[in-house]
Structure 1
Amino acid sequence: MTTMADVARRAGVSVATVSHVLNDTRPVRPGTRAAVLGAIDELGYTHNTLARSLVTARTRSIGLAVSAISNPYFTEILQGVEASALEAGYSLLIADPHDDPVHERKVVQLLHERRVDGMIVAPSAEPSEMTGYLARRSVPTVFLDRLVGDDHDQVCAENTGPVRQLVEHLAELGHTRIGLVAGLPGLSTTTERVRGYREGLRARGLPFAPGLLAGGNSEAEGAERATHQLLAAPEPPTAVITANNAMTIGALRALAARGLQVPRDIALACFDDFSWADLFAPRLTAVAQPSKDIGAGAVRLLLERLADPARPPRTLRLPCTLVHRTSCGCPATGPADRHPLSPSPAPATPPAAQERNRTP
């Protein structure tokens, strides 16, 4: 078995220098580093991270618990986490809690028992069992996408302002009956996006109608049922906003089942952009979240926590972008326009011309 001493002899350096290169514990001149890395490749040396962890009490691994990993949004978050963790010399252990509080608690315990240095978790709607487990064991943790209070490190996108601006955009096009297919109750993302919906209506002088708000439970099947519910109302919406990308698919199924064409018969806009939104006819107007930046931000906060366990908790909110296409009813003007969205737009006064009731 090749040892660190073998690498040192081949590179013509000390064992301590090889250790510094492997563990980034001290700056090493570029030429010396290159010689050490060349010797490692030539000899096929594998660093014994387990042995190092016994000395340092660190495994240089991060536990990541994220539900619906197949969702494009969370896939991009995973890419951001993985790239940042790898750059910092950390590996990932990944588990899917399935948005189930009981399973979530078990998953977090399993990751903790693998001696990860810290956790990054997208919490469920009822995370108290999981957060209690982590708090009792003082596990360094960052929550992403969904917030669980001000006394934790967490990172997410802006939610309220972007939805408000979607509502205002649809109102500017003449819509006064704007529906929302909301996410899973109990999630901070759901609460904040519903708040943005109501703020947008209020900013444009439109009344909130409970019959224009339906819960889609953050998944396609629920959104399909919710959209049918909205369309069956005595005064159905002339425009619909879906609160995540999975629910957009369900809403489109419901619209197709009723023979409605977007945007001729009904306008559609969604929270969450995805790579194939440009392939729909019409192309989907969407709020794009900075998914990879959310993942990278979570790693950064976790590394800061590991370096300074006593520092105050931080909440990092990242701005979104409006990807303006044609499903909202605007004419095609070429490639999608991308506009940064402010977290708290200034209130707007609705012109009289915008208060007419638009019918499909």
Structure 2
Amino acid sequence: MCPSRRGQAAYDGRMAAPRRRVRMREVAEHAGVSTSTVSHVLNGTRFVSPATQAAVLAAAEELGYELPETVEIAPSRRTLGIAISSYSNPYMAELIQGVEQEAIRAGFALFLCDSHDNPKQESEAVRTLLTHHVDAIVLAPTSQWEETALPLLHKGGRPYVLIDRLSASPCDQVVCDSASATATLIEHLIGHGHHRIGMVSGLPGLSTSQERLRGYQRALVDAGLAVDEHLVRCGHSSASGGRAAVHSLLRNEPRPTAIFSANNAMTVGALQAFDELGIRVGDDVALVGFDDFEWASAVRPALTTVAQPFHAMGARAVQLLLHRLENPMAAHRVVRLPTEIQYRDSCGCPPLDRRFPEAPRN
């Protein structure tokens, strides 16, 4: 054996044992975080605060943690998921714009799913968002969300905020005070001399439907008027449902002299029913509605409505999520934003003078 080979053999015999591979659990303990947080930092699968990222990477380097060759440290991706009902609805579009603008300002991309106000589709939407590793979720809940979506949210461990609809579950929420706004509308109709006031109510089980019904009933009771169940018809929060509900209400004898529609889609259906029956809004019957929309002031008579601050609701929801991401153990908050009533002609108010002012004379 030549000397070079004898030396190599001697060297091989004295080789140190292979270095023990550092485990992800050890990196987590060294950094003072959970193993899942280390995984999210190293794989870029979820937003982690810059301070925590730095601590994890420093611990990995100090301990000599090595990633498999097929894995690379990816930049942190900040993604916000939205599961919302019927986002083609004009007011939902305004709400989404509020979410989008605030999310972009905070550096989030958006992932949008439509629940179609259907519990099964809602759960599929939430599952899709979780599968795509969104950092947080904005949810406009269906009537059965606690049985379908809530278990998925708890299992997924992502922060979420409810928007537009209130829940008894402990979580962050952004809503408007539907009951008080409805009561104010009904009081306004009573002030115009209406004592038989019909209501087209929304989809059963939704908090907004329940609150608006309570506001309607409260205003009648406070005015000393009877609450007549025959003057309430469910319109299922849709235009076709609103149309059918108004047809049913107007078969009452005596007829209601005023009708309150509990959302904008049902208001469209109500107007269709009045047209089919040859009934003139403002002259033969007063009409008021919840949710303002662009053309509410363009029709004749112009519609008296409750305007909700949807853009502000969307922005506030993102702000709550940002706070939750940075402060996971903070107390849950329920934010109620004020509404504004747009008094126009359909309730019996005198028509506004829409003429342009005369130019000043010299």
Pairwise same-fold verdict (TM > 0.5): yes
Aligned match of 2:197: 178
Q: 1:24 to 1:315 in 2, by over 3 A?
A: closer
Q: Which amino acid aligns with 1:119?
A: I
1:227 aligns with 2:226: no
Partner SS state of residue 276, structure 1: helix
**Cα shift readout 1:137-192 (whole Å, capped 9, x = no counterpart):** 22200010012214011101110000000000000000000011010000000000
Aligned match of 1:93: 111
**Cα shift readout 1:70-106 (whole Å, capped 9, x = no counterpart):** 1111000000000000011111000101111111111
Matches within 5 A, 1:166-315: 166-315=185-334
Q: Would you say the 8 A contact 1:168–1:203 is kept in 2?
A: no
Comparing 325-334 with 238-247, which one deviates more in the overlay?
325-334
The alpha-carbon deviation at position 285 of structure 1 amounts to: 0.4
Q: Which amino acid aligns with 1:228?
A: H
The alpha-carbon deviation at position 203 of structure 1 amounts to: 1.5
1:79 aligns with 2:85: no
The alpha-carbon deviation at position 55 of structure 1 amounts to: 5.5
Q: Would you say the 8 A contact 1:212–1:236 is kept in 2?
A: no
Q: Would you say the 8 A contact 1:150–1:313 is kept in 2?
A: no
Aligned match of 1:126: 144
**Cα shift readout 1:227-277 (whole Å, capped 9, x = no counterpart):** 111001122210001001001000001111110001100000000000111
CA–CA distance in structure 1, aligned partners of residues 353 and 236 of structure 2: 34
**Cα shift readout 1:185-240 (whole Å, capped 9, x = no counterpart):** 00000000000000110111111000110100001001110111100112221000
The alpha-carbon deviation at position 24 of structure 1 amounts to: 11
Aligned match of 2:81: 63
Q: What is the Cα-based RMSD across aligned positions, in Å?
A: 1.8
Matches within 5 A, 1:97-112: 97-112=115-130
Partner SS state of residue 227, structure 1: helix
The alpha-carbon deviation at position 132 of structure 1 amounts to: 1.1
**Cα shift readout 1:28-68 (whole Å, capped 9, x = no counterpart):** xxxxxxxxxxxxxxxxxxxxxxx77x465xx2110001111
Aligned match of 1:157: 176
CA–CA distance in structure 2, aligned partners of residues 155 and 256 of structure 1: 37
CA–CA distance in structure 2, aligned partners of residues 334 and 244 of structure 1: 27
Give the TM-score normalised by the residue count of structure 2.
0.77
Aligned match of 2:12: none
Partner SS state of residue 134, structure 2: coil
Q: Which amino acid aligns with 1:76?
A: E
Partner SS state of residue 294, structure 2: coil
Q: Which amino acid aligns with 2:134?
A: V
CA–CA distance in structure 2, aligned partners of residues 303 and 148 of structure 1: 21
Aligned match of 1:39: none
Q: Name stretches of at least 5 consecutive residues in structure 2 with no aligned partner.
A: 1-47, 52-71, 355-362
Q: Would you say the 8 A contact 2:49–2:326 is kept in 1?
A: no
CA–CA distance in structure 1, aligned partners of residues 260 and 288 of structure 2: 5
Partner SS state of residue 162, structure 2: strand
Give the TM-score normalised by the residue count of structure 1.
0.77
Number of matched pairs:
287
Moved over 6 A (4+): 23-26
Q: Which amino acid aligns with 2:98?
A: G
The alpha-carbon deviation at position 332 of structure 1 amounts to: 1.4
Tell me which structure has the larger Cα radius of gyration.
2
CA–CA distance in structure 2, aligned partners of residues 255 and 213 of structure 1: 17
Q: Which amino acid aligns with 1:130?
A: A
Q: Which amino acid aligns with 1:195?
A: R
CA–CA distance in structure 1, aligned partners of residues 118 and 169 of structure 2: 23
Partner SS state of residue 98, structure 1: coil
Q: Which amino acid aligns with 1:114?
A: H
CA–CA distance in structure 1, aligned partners of residues 252 and 242 of structure 2: 16
Q: Name stretches of at least 5 consecutive residues in structure 1 with no aligned partner.
A: 1-22, 27-50, 336-360
CA–CA distance in structure 2, aligned partners of residues 148 and 125 of structure 1: 10
Q: Would you say the 8 A contact 2:130–2:156 is kept in 1?
A: no
Q: Would you say the 8 A contact 2:292–2:308 is kept in 1?
A: yes
